[in-house]
Amino acid sequence: MPATLSLLRNIFSDPMERRTAIAIWAAAFSGGAVLGPVIGGILLEHFWWGSVFFLAVPMLLPLLVGGLILLPESRDPNPGKVDPISIVLIIMALLPFVYGIKSISSGPGTSRSPRSPSGWSAPSRSCGVS
């Protein structure tokens, strides 16, 4: 989401055009947020669960081709260095959290003891590791 807004800021330099582009972006996002679950529910009610993914194909193919042709390149001329310590810290914070959610949803018998993955994720996030 922030990447699309930064593209709008770089593409539309005129403030009036930028306001219009952001309004169209917000309307499309709101429409997708409203219609997505409804259409997904209808598809799930009448077809197999994988049908929700086929809905995106006819919409995304023209967008991908059009994006490659119409969107200008937008890169930072002075990118920062890769921070390996931050990469390791975010993995240490998110991996136990995701594993904990998966183990809790797998069935009964899981707990939030200090030895469980979700037991390590909360203290690491509260201590500012992430």
What is the band of 124 on the pLDDT scale with cuts at 50, 70, 90? low
Give the tens place of pLDDT for each residue, 20-70: 999 999 999 999 899 989 988 998 899 988 888 887 888 889 989 998 998
DSSP letters for 44-88: HHHS-TTHHHHTTHHHHHHHHHHHHHHSPP---SSPPPP-HHHHH
Query: For 18-47, what is the HEC assignment?
Result: HHHHHHHHHHHHHHHHHHHHHHHHHHHHHC
Rounded Cα distance, 45 and 71, in Å: 37
For 76-90, write each residue's pLDDT tens digit.
788 889 999 989 888
pTM to 2 decimal places: 0.55
